Chains A and B, each alone.
Chain A
Amino acid sequence: MTAVHAEAQHDTGRALLGLEGVTVRFGGITALSEVSLDISEGRVLGVIGPNGAGKTTLFNVACGFQRPGEGRITWKGEQLSRLRPHDLAGLGISRTLQGLGLFERMTVLENVTVGADRHARAGFWSGLLALPGSTREETALRERSMAALAELGIAEHAPRYPGSLPYAIRKKVALARALVVEPELLLLDEPASGLSSDEMAELGELVRGLTDRMAVMLVEHHMDLVMSVCDDIAVLDFGRLIARGTPDEVREDEAVVAAYLGDAVSHADASSDPVAGS
């Protein structure tokens, strides 16, 4: 019985990050209300919802920026008593930021190498005194960082400073910095914002290509991208999770349609609704 159960779990992928009954309040405003979600290995989860639905708050909870008032956070089935931002990389979670957050006074390569540090083994003192072991390791870190840049096709920009690069390239640098950690879970905060449709298609392919190595959770406004890339979609509205399912299921969901198009659908005659026809 237990063996069967375990195998069934294996098929869908082991659950990585789990949120259970997470509630976040800012003063009198409830940003998230009893949200439960989990992300499994090798899956792409999209979080969507109208503006102010609580997507960013959910993301901030998932990466430890925001402590939930109530609820539990689990990682691979074990409860995290307190998730702090600097624990993330060690756990195997990395995230990109809406504002990218690149270090402007460091080269592209240096930016990425900071992320590669999770794999650094040399101790603090040997690093400080530049002992041979740590020097070898630093070379290895730099090589790994170059590989991450090459994977995204931006290796030639390695010695340049982020400020001198176009936005789409800077976005890739931020992504390379998140990928070089070799995370098990990658959190992408609005990865498509500011990209052209070609670049967005490229991003979609890239994200799909990551699923054999890691799970991806993304917050995004561009429905085309979300629908084509995600295995599962979670829909938030006013801090509540109103739907969870495959893109097709979510597209048909009445609560989702109501949240996006307003309540008019359920009250008024559908034919008189200008949006219903499209």
Chain B
Amino acid sequence: MQQLLSILLTGLTLGAVYAAFALALVMIWRSTRIVNFAQAPMAMVTTYVALVLIDAGASYWVGFVAALLSGFLLGAVIERLVVRHVEGKAEINAVILTLGLFIVLHSLAAIVFGARFRSFPAPFGIRGFQVGDSTVPLTGFGIFTLVAVLVVMGLLVALFRGTDIGLRMRAAAFGPEVARLLGVKVGRMLTLGWALASVVGSLAGILIAGGGLVHPGYMDSVVVYGFVAAVLGGLDSPGGAVVGGLALGLTLSLVSGYVGSEVVPLSALLVLVVVLLVRPGGLFATVHERRV
């Protein structure tokens, strides 16, 4: 019982991070029809920005805010300077481009920040609470992770549903031509979409790093899990990405606890294959799969 609870809570925390990462992928997919494989190294770079600040003596929170802000900037700059040139072109161009960005950011980070493992602090305890003589497997940092992801998601929903900017961003994503006619500056909305997605990706990056080690490749496995979570929910559905992320986190945690941590990546890919075979549109897709 203790073990199951522990596994479920770990899975939930992990799932929240996957959900955030999947959400970042979905936001970019919805607005520009691009799967952003460079999401992981982008988040890695912003985590390093935070780490440099923290190592220089700044508090964790300064680093945290700096990571999100630099995520915003990085997303905007990459969309405006690089991705803009492949938007609306053949899909393969965007795939190659984001894969290329993946490699470039990786190498740059290794040059600038060094390729060795560095420890990243956590703002809260990473040990479970002590109740009587047993340990509840819920850590302060775990709670923080859940709360941070929920808050960011709530803010995003408020932005897209409740504000005029959000309305224009949705219009630009759903029908760029019509939106242009109505005076929406579609290019600016796409840049903003990438910037916001990159903020969410950065959040996932810094949450994974907390209390652990970072090196230029530490986010690479997350891009796989985030992608599986996004496909699980249907690439088009933000709600689906969240549910997909949580479901994947729980599944992988169960696999890790009862089968063995060495089969976790394998089982993630198994989930991906099964989803694509059984329900290619994802669990929450609103579009119908193309029949050939």
Query: Residues of A at under 8 Å CB distance from B?
Result: 63, 84-86, 88-90, 94-95, 97, 101, 103-106, 110, 113-115, 117-118, 120, 122, 124, 127-128, 130, 134, 137-138, 141, 177, 181
Contacts and interface: CB of A to CB of B under 8 A. Distances in A.
Contacts of A138: 163-164
Contact of B184 (A63, A117, A128): A117
B170 A105 contact: yes
6 contacts: A86-B180, A86-B185, A88-B183, A130-B158, A134-B163, A181-B182
A94 B168 CA distance: 17
A130 B175 contact: no
Interface residues of B, number: 25
A85 B163 contact: no
5 tightest CB-CB pairs across the interface, nearest first? Answer: A89-B183, A101-B178, A85-B180, A127-B165, A86-B180
A115 B168 CA distance: 9
A141 B181 contact: no
B164 A104 contact: no
Given A103-B174, A114-B167, A128-B163, 20 more contacts: A86-B180, A86-B181, A86-B184, A88-B181, A101-B175, A101-B178, A103-B171, A105-B174, A106-B167, A106-B174, A113-B167, A114-B171, A117-B182, A124-B188, A128-B159, A128-B165, A130-B158, A134-B163, A177-B182, A181-B182
B186 interface: yes
Nearest to B165: A127
A86 B189 CA distance: 13
A137 to B, nearest CB: 7
Interface string B148-162: 000000000011001
Contact of B182 (A115, A122, A124, A127): A115
B136 interface: no
Contacts of B158: 130
Contacts of A124: 165, 188
B126 to A, nearest CB: 33
A167 to B, nearest CB: 17
Interface of B: 158-159, 162-165, 167-168, 170-171, 174-175, 177-186, 188, 192, 286
Given A103-B175, A106-B174, A128-B159, A141 B164 contact: yes
A112 to B, nearest CB: 10
Contact of B177 (A101, A105, A106, A120): A101
B73 to A, nearest CB: 14
- Judged by DSSP, the binding face of A is helix
A128 B170 CA distance: 14
A137 B164 contact: yes
A85 B181 contact: yes
B186 A104 contact: no
Given A101-B175, A105-B174, A127 B181 contact: no
Contacts of A89: 181-183
A103 B164 contact: no
A63 to B, nearest CB: 7
Nearest to A115: B182
Max count, chain B CB within 10 A of own CB: residue among A95, A101, A114: A114
B183 A127 contact: no
A120 B164 contact: yes
B184 A114 contact: yes
B183 A90 contact: yes
Given A86-B183, A117-B168, A103 B178 contact: yes
Contacts of A104: 174
A101 B176 CA distance: 10
Contact of B181 (A94, A103, A113): A94
A106 to B, nearest CB: 6
A134 to B, nearest CB: 7
A137 B286 CA distance: 32
Contacts of A127: 163-165
Nearest to B186: A86
A97 B180 CA distance: 13
B183 A181 contact: yes
Contacts of A94: 181-182
Contacts of B170: 103, 105-106, 110
A127 B168 CA distance: 11
A250 B165 CA distance: 47
Contact of A85 (B162, B168, B171, B177): B177
A217 to B, nearest CB: 15
A85 B163 CA distance: 24
A223 to B, nearest CB: 28
Contacts of A128: 159, 163, 165, 192
A110 B163 CA distance: 11
Contacts of B164: 113, 117, 120, 122, 127, 134, 137-138, 141
B169 to A, nearest CB: 10
A97 B178 contact: yes
A138 B158 CA distance: 13
